[in-house]
């Protein structure tokens, strides 16, 4: 260790010892000057009462339930979009995809259209297609959320300044709205970019799985064709179902028809079992 390091260590120890001595001295002075307070009279001493929380009565609970029935929620598309912004519940994140204002039948039709388009097979592909369709559902919600923000801003700014009710000031009003709600608009843009990246990643993963599956099917078709050629050459039956291929018989027949030269698939019946002659 250098002399400078040793000197600094000694200075830190001295400062630490000085602080301890000052604290000890202040504590001793406080103990010497303080006196024990006289006990309060018995009449003034109050027993400790534990804090209790009052629970709502049954009548109050029933009244709250009855009042809640009068709230039916928004009716118009703009009102539903505005309601979706309450407490930042936009449906762009989290597990729940559908909002209370969403149309369940439209969502189910949306999912079916993606299943018909992407044709998933197996649990992994089905899960990816479900996720990709959900992401698109969320992305389709963003324009409505932006319109809801503009509607809210127009309502609030026009209430404070009557000049914004003039149609000629619509571009200026929209600019002021975007400045007033810059964080909300930026959040929507960030969520849109995040969802788009996730959708692109899952589409690439789905395409890789489907390409691998297609390669396996082609390899299986080639193997089945070789077995069929051997059986046909040796005039032996070829039982397609006995091999447990992962493709259908119609796919196999189509595959044979496009071979060079094309092969006409023939159903070869199994030869009858030969029985041994009975012994005398």
Calpha distance 232→268 (Å, rounded): 8
Task: Tell me how far apart the 2 most distant CA atoms of the chain are, in Å.
Answer: 130
Calpha distance 264→259 (Å, rounded): 10
Calpha distance 90→98 (Å, rounded): 10
226 has pLDDT over 60: yes
CA 68 to the chain's CA centroid: 30
Residues 6+ apart with CB under 8 A from 128: 120, 202, 205, 206, 209
- Ranges of each domain in the chain: 77-213, 215-257
pLDDT single digits (tens) 53-91: 455 677 776 766 666 665 555 666 556 655 555 444 556
Q: What is the DSSP string of 59-119?
A: HHHHHHHHHHTT-----SHHHHHHHHTGGG--SSSSS----TTS-HHHHHHHHHHHHHHH-
The pTM assigned to this predicted structure is 0.55
The answer to whether 258 and 270 are in contact (CB under 8 A) is: no
pLDDT single digits (tens) 86-129: 444 556 776 678 888 889 999 999 999 999 999 999 999 999 99
Residues in the chain: 280
């Amino acid at each position: 260790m250098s002399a400078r390091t040793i000197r600094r260590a000694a200075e830190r120890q001295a400062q630490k010892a000085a602080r301890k001595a000052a604290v000890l001295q202040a504590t001793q002075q406080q103990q010497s000057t303080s006196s024990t307070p006289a006990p309060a009279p018995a009449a003034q001493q109050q027993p400790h009462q534990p804090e209790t929380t009052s629970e709502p009565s049954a009548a109050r609970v029933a009244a709250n339930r009855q009042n809640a029935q009068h709230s039916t929620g928004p009716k118009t598309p703009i009102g539903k979009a505005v309601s979706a912004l309450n407490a930042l519940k936009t449906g762009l994140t989290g597990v729940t995809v559908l909002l209370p204002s969403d149309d369940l039948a439209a969502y189910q039709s949306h999912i079916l259209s993606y299943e018909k388009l992407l044709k998933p097979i197996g649990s992994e592909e089905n899960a990816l297609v479900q996720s990709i369709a959900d992401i698109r559902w969320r992305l389709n919600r963003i324009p409505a959320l932006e319109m809801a923000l503009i509607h809210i801003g127009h309502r609030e700014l026009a209430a404070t300044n009557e000049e914004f009710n003039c149609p000629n000031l619509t571009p200026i009003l929209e600019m002021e709205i975007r400045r007033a709600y810059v964080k909300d608009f930026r959040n929507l843009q960030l969520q849109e970019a995040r969802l788009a990246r996730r959708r692109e990643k899952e589409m690439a993963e789905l395409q890789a799985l489907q390409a691998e599956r297609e390669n396996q099917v082609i390899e299986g078709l080639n193997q089945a064709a070789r077995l069929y050629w051997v059986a046909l050459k040796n005039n032996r039956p070829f039982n397609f179902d006995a091999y447990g291929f992962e493709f259908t018989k119609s796919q196999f027949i189509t595959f044979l028809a496009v071979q060079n030269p094309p092969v006409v698939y023939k159903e070869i019946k199994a030869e009858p079992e030969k029985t041994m002659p009975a012994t005398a």
